[in-house]
Structure 1
């Protein structure tokens, strides 16, 4: 079904690039936090511009935890095969929560075009995570 080049040295199907991009999307507050930290003197201004309400920032950090855990676990999936197999719904549920949260923010009056575009991207990510046959196959051990 998959080409031999689609497998890594351990016999696992390589994770698609879109999966990594979606994990970055899910961890967007973490990425913003890292960018703000790298910009030194202007980091506080960047965070305040994007997250004027500190509670939303901390909610965004919490919402990015499943993506961060998925990043860490994906590099060790050959060691923790059972956990990795059981982890399959975690990115989907996390994306569903982020999509619903983005919809709620938009309904609460979040700035128009950026929030609307983010909602559209979140919806696409949710659909892809739930429907991708390749991604589903990546969550099974080579012996399965």
Structure 2
């Protein structure tokens, strides 16, 4: 594999270091988990916090599902060199999860959910994340493990 990036972009195993946007995308996909942790940390106001972000509790439980691949990607990212085939598939799983998130948001809007500033911002962020996951050469190369 030819060197396409500066030497400082590689770790000691010869693999690309994690792009910052990758962490941001994982956080975006796991946003319902973040709200859950936030609600659990503030015990007395936890129910109120969940009510602000997810007035419909069914949406909350469904929102946890796309965050599972993001959480798994976060957990194995430090040991990706031990599981190169699994790691190569993670990118496609994240793309599928992002498609699910985007489809779910569009379906909620189609069913009559209000288009607020937050909803629009999340929709645009989801569109950008999907585009970046699917087209970023650097990210694609990040999922290729050097087997030396």
- The question of a shared fold, defined as TM-score above 0.5 by the shorter chain, is answered with yes
| Structure-to-structure mapping, 1:29-108, within 5 angstroms | 29-108=32-111
Q: State the TM-score, normalizing by the size of structure 2.
A: 0.92
In the alignment of these two chains, the number of paired residues is 144
**What do the CA deviations read for 1:107-134 (whole angstroms, capped 9, x no partner)?**
2222322212211111011001100000
Whole-Å separation in 2 of the counterparts to 1:133 and 1:27? 23
Name which of 126, 130, 135 aligns with 1:131.
Answer: 135
SS at match of 2:81: coil
1:41-76 CA-to-partner distances (Å, cap 9, x unmatched) read 101110012111111111011121111111112111
Quote the residue 2:145 is aligned against.
Answer: 141
SS in 2 for 1:117: helix
- Is the contact between residue 106 and residue 116 of structure 1 (CA under 8 Å) also seen in structure 2? no
1:24 matched residue in structure 2? 27
Aligned-pair RMSD on alpha carbons?
Answer: 1.3
Unpaired runs of at least 5, structure 1: none
The alignment's TM-score, normalised by the length of structure 1, stands at 0.94
